[in-house]
Amino acid sequence: MDALKSFFMTAPVEPAEFAQSLWLIIALPLLGAFVCGVFGKRLGRGNVHLIACASVAGAFVLSAIAFWCVNHAPQGGLPVSMENPFSASALRYSIGYDYGIWFAAGDFRVNLGLMVDHLSGIMLLVITGVGFLIHLYSTSYMEHDESGWRYFAYLNLFVAAMLTLVLADNLVLLFVGWEGVGLASYLLIGFWYTDAAKAWAGRKAFVTNRIGDFAFLIASFLLVLLVGAFTGQANPANYTSVGVDPSAAQTRYAEGLAFKGPLSFMGLEIMANALPVTAESNPAAALSLQSPIAQGPLEGRTFGGVLTVTLLLFLLGAAGKSAQFPLYVWLPDAMAGPTPVSALIHAATMVTAGVYLFCRMSYLLVLSPTAMLTVAIIGAVTALLAALIAFAQDDIKKVLAYSTVSQLGLMFMGVGTGIFWAAVLHLVTHAFFKACLFLGAGSVMHGNGDETDIKKLGGLRREMKTTWWTFAVATLAITGIFPLSGFFSKDALLHGVHHNHLVGFEGAANALYALGLLIAVCTAFYMTRVYLLTFEGERSKEARVAHAHESSGYMTVPLVLLAILSIVALFYALPLMPGRNGVRQPVMENFLGPVFASAERLAARGGQVKLDHSLPSIVDYLVAWVTALVGGGLAAFAYLKYFPSRAGMPAPVWARSVRRFTQNKFYVDEVYEAVVIRPVKGLGTLVFKMVEAFIDRVLVHGTAWVTNFTGITLRYLQTGDAQVYAAVMALALLGGAVYAIIQVLN
Which of 481, 463, 593, 435 lies closest to 536 in space, CA to CA?
463
Which of 356, 236, 232, 386 lies closest to 294 in space, CA to CA?
232
Crossing angle for the helix pair 507-535 and 396-416, nearest 10 degrees? 160
Phi, psi dihedral angles at 98 (to 5 degrees): -105, 120
Q: How far apart are CA 467 and CA 437, in angstroms?
A: 9
Q: How far apart are CA 226 and CA 102, in angstroms?
A: 22
pLDDT at residue 74, as a whole number: 86
For residues 91-105, one letter each, b for 16 or more C-beta atoms within 10 angstroms of the residue's C-beta and e for the rest, the string is: bbbbbbbbeeebeee
Q: How far apart are CA 469 and CA 482, in angstroms?
A: 17
CA-to-CA dists, residue 48 to 27, 42, 614, 733, angstroms: 17, 9, 51, 86
SS3 content of the chain, % helix, strand, coil (to 5): 70, 5, 25
Over range 516-541, report the average pLDDT.
Answer: 94
Asked whether the beta carbons of 240 and 298 are under 8 A apart, the reply is no
Within 10 angstroms of residue 256's Cβ, the number of other Cβ atoms is: 19
Q: How far apart are CA 439 and CA 462, in angstroms?
A: 19
How do residues 200-219 score in pLDDT, each as one tens digit? 999 989 988 999 999 999 99
Please state which of the ranges 53-57, 114-118, 529-533, 647-651 shows the lowest mean pLDDT.
Answer: 647-651
Over range 577-604, report the average pLDDT.
Answer: 90
- In 36-107, where do the E strands start and end? 81-82, 91-92, 95-105
Phi, psi dihedral angles at 107 (to 5 degrees): -85, -10
The one-letter code for the residue type at 97 is: Y
Q: How far apart are CA 102 and CA 175, in angstroms?
A: 14
Asked whether the beta carbons of 427 and 335 are under 8 A apart, the reply is no
In the predicted structure, residue 315 carries a pLDDT above the cut 80:
yes
Q: How far apart are CA 418 and CA 371, in angstroms?
A: 11
The string of DSSP letters for 490-532 reads: HHHHHHHHHH-EETT-THHHHHHHHHHHHHHHHHHHHHHHHHH
603 φ/ψ sector (left φ>0, alpha ψ -120 to 50, else beta): alpha
Residue 123 vs residue 701, higher pLDDT: 123
Long-range (24+ apart) CB contacts under 8 A made by 22-25 are: 22/66, 22/95, 22/96, 22/97, 22/114, 22/116, 22/167, 23/97, 23/99, 23/114, 24/59, 24/62, 25/59, 25/62, 25/63, 25/66, 25/124, 25/128, 25/163, 25/167
Sort strands 108-116 and 95-105 into parallel, antiparallel or unpaired: antiparallel
Does this model's pTM top 0.85? My answer is yes
Phi, psi dihedral angles at 718 (to 5 degrees): -95, 75
Task: Assign 107 a pLDDT band (cuts: 50, 70, 90).
Answer: confident
The chain-wide mean pLDDT, for the chain, equals 92
Task: Assign 455 a pLDDT band (cuts: 50, 70, 90).
Answer: very high
Please state which of the ranges 195-209, 366-380, 422-436 shows the lowest mean pLDDT.
Answer: 195-209
Handedness of CA 637, 639, 641, 643 (dihedral sign): positive
Crossing angle for the helix pair 396-416 and 420-447, nearest 10 degrees? 180
In the predicted structure, residue 582 carries a pLDDT above the cut 80:
no
The string of DSSP letters for 413-455 reads: HHHHTT-HHHHHHHHHHHHHHHHHHHHHHHHHHHHTTT--BGG
pLDDT at residue 63, as a whole number: 97
Question: If DSSP codes are grouped into helix, strand and coil, which group holds residue 112?
Answer: strand
Task: Assign 163 a pLDDT band (cuts: 50, 70, 90).
Answer: very high
The half-sphere exposure of 437 on its side-chain side, counting CA atoms within 13 A, is 33
Over range 334-347, report the average pLDDT.
Answer: 89
pLDDT at residue 5, as a whole number: 78
Which of 423, 408, 407 lies closest to 479 in space, CA to CA?
407
Which of 486, 496, 510 lies closest to 585 in space, CA to CA?
496
Which of 78, 71, 177, 162 lies closest to 117 in space, CA to CA?
71
Task: Assign 397 a pLDDT band (cuts: 50, 70, 90).
Answer: very high
pLDDT at residue 666, as a whole number: 86
Q: How far is CA 37 from the centre of its chain?
A: 25
In the predicted structure, residue 499 carries a pLDDT above the cut 80:
yes
Over range 637-647, report the average pLDDT.
Answer: 89
pLDDT at residue 166, as a whole number: 97
Q: How far apart are CA 699 and CA 707, in angstroms?
A: 12
Over range 438-448, report the average pLDDT.
Answer: 94
Handedness of CA 398, 403, 409, 411 (dihedral sign): negative
The string of DSSP letters for 335-386 reads: GGS-HHHHHIIIIISGGGHHHHHHHHTHHHHTT-HHHHHHHHHHHHHHHHHH
pLDDT at residue 194, as a whole number: 92
Task: Assign 656 a pLDDT band (cuts: 50, 70, 90).
Answer: confident
Which of 498, 499, 479 lies closest to 490 in space, CA to CA?
479
DSSP annotation of 696: I
pLDDT at residue 298, as a whole number: 94
Q: How far is CA 399 from the centre of its chain?
A: 20
Question: If DSSP codes are grouped into helix, strand and coil, which group holds residue 119?
Answer: helix
